[in-house]
Amino acid sequence: MSVGDPPPAIPGARLLFSLDAATAYLNHGSFGAVPIGVQRAQQRLRDEIDRNPMSFFVHPGLTDRIVHTRRHLAAFLGADPDGSALVPNVTAAVSLVLQSVRLTSGDEVLLTDHGYGANAFAVRRQCRRDGATARTVALPLDATDAEVVSRIRNALRPGKTKLLVVDQITSPTAKVLPVREIAAAAREHDIPVLVDAAHVPGMLDVDVERIGADFWVGNLHKWAFAPRSTALLAVAPAWRRRIEPLIVSWEQESGFPMAVEFQGTIDYTPWLAAPAGLFTLRTLGLDTVRAHNAALAAYGQRVVGESLGLAPTDLPDPGAAEASMRILPLPSGLATTQPEAHALRQMVADKLATEVAINAWGGRGWLRLSAQVYNRPDEFENLAERLPPLLAGLR
């Protein structure tokens, strides 16, 4: 199979999902899609709760089940289960870390311009509260790993930079960053690093311990087929006693991680059903799924790019062979602001019955395509045929 060719379908994979057949869902990266078997596993847990809420929440066993689930998910990611905590999502973990770092006046948090917007909002809010400063380092879209590390290293201010926030796979630009090397560069100056790995679990083969970040958090409800909202926050030993939960509940005296995980009557069913998602992924075959998704994403990028008159050199390389999200630039002048990007995304959904991600980044609009086992090549081909006339009517 040459680069850009569509991969063969994984037999039966499309039937595992309850997605609307009338819509081409090419945006798995935003909210994921939960397999039917995992939905049923979660529903059985809900039924268990409602048969006897006291038995589920109060009688011995819930905390043991949480710990068992955490160990299962941490093992999959190569994280220390005793130094990890289940959390709802990456954005919740970012606020948790920002609170625990305890910034003071004159401190700064360093971000990149590829970061997730909500996390940037959280950083700026915490900085306003603490009298600190949020600063952004620009990374060219075509920067090599060495260039990325060099730019970030040069942007660090020892003694002033109190936290570096960096994505392992960027949301707006679908770029895989060399987080292990970035963490090593920050460690030279004792600057803690928070890795936003929202898209990593399930998509990339990861060993969290080897990355060496102070904080690493990944969502399992995107590419690991877990129910929403399920994420794992891994914390380096030096920080574990300093992690304070956003909400204080009955396990506060237990310390990290249970003080973070146990939050009274929150819905624990997504976490407890998450191993069923990993079971589905392993049943399909991890390597098979990753190869299929990466090849189909590359194919989609190529055929849609060709329909928009883009040369192969105009199509950004994500930087990892197994990346299953790809971006391509939209015609100049379209979706140059985030409100315009949201409006165009909705127009594509309404008029083309296709779900995609559209982001404004670097002064222009970008289309992000995701590929998952339920997608077919013809869904990308149909978008390639119908998108150019829609965009031409907007110019």
Dump pLDDT digits (tens) for 298-348: 999 999 999 999 999 999 999 999 999 999 999 999 999 999 999 999 999
Pairing of strands 354-355, 24-25: parallel
Q: Are residues 257 and 350 in the same domain?
A: no
Q: For residue 349, is it within any domain?
A: yes
Per-residue tokens: 210: 């080897």
pTM for the whole thing? 0.96
Q: Are residues 307 and 189 in the same domain?
A: no
Q: Are residues 185 and 252 in the same domain?
A: yes
Q: What is the CATH number of the domain that holds 213?
A: 3.40.640.10
Q: Are residues 164 and 293 in the same domain?
A: no
Q: Are residues 136 and 263 in the same domain?
A: yes
Q: Are residues 126 and 21 in the same domain?
A: no
Q: Are residues 24 and 124 in the same domain?
A: no
Cα separation of 184 and 196, whole Å?
A: 16
Q: Are residues 196 and 302 in the same domain?
A: no
Q: Are residues 337 and 352 in the same domain?
A: yes
Q: What is the CATH number of the domain that holds 339?
A: 3.90.1150.10
Of 279, 296, 327, the residue at which a domain comes to its end is 279
Please say whether the beta carbons of 369 and 330 come within 8 A.
no
Q: For residue 384, is it within any domain?
A: yes
Of 250, 279, 308, the residue at which a domain comes to its end is 279
Q: For residue 139, is it within any domain?
A: yes
Pairing of strands 133-137, 108-112: parallel
For the chain, the helix, strand and coil percentages under 3-state DSSP, each to the nearest 5: 45, 15, 40
Number of compact structural domains in the chain: 2
Of 279, 294, 310, the residue at which a domain comes to its end is 279
Q: For residue 272, is it within any domain?
A: yes
Q: Are residues 128 and 252 in the same domain?
A: yes
Q: Are residues 258 and 295 in the same domain?
A: no
Quote the domain boundaries for residue 298: 13-33+285-392
Q: For residue 3, is it within any domain?
A: no
Q: Are residues 216 and 356 in the same domain?
A: no
The pLDDT score that the predictor gives to residue 4 is: 63
The interaxial angle of helices 269-284 and 62-77, nearest 10 deg, is 40
Cα separation of 119 and 116, whole Å?
A: 6
Please say whether the beta carbons of 243 and 100 come within 8 A.
yes
Q: Which residues of the chain have pLDDT under 50?
A: 1-2
The pLDDT score that the predictor gives to residue 59 is: 76
Beta bridge partners of 134: 109
Q: For residue 5, is it within any domain?
A: no
Q: For residue 25, is it within any domain?
A: yes
Cα separation of 22 and 153, whole Å?
A: 48
Q: For residue 269, is it within any domain?
A: yes
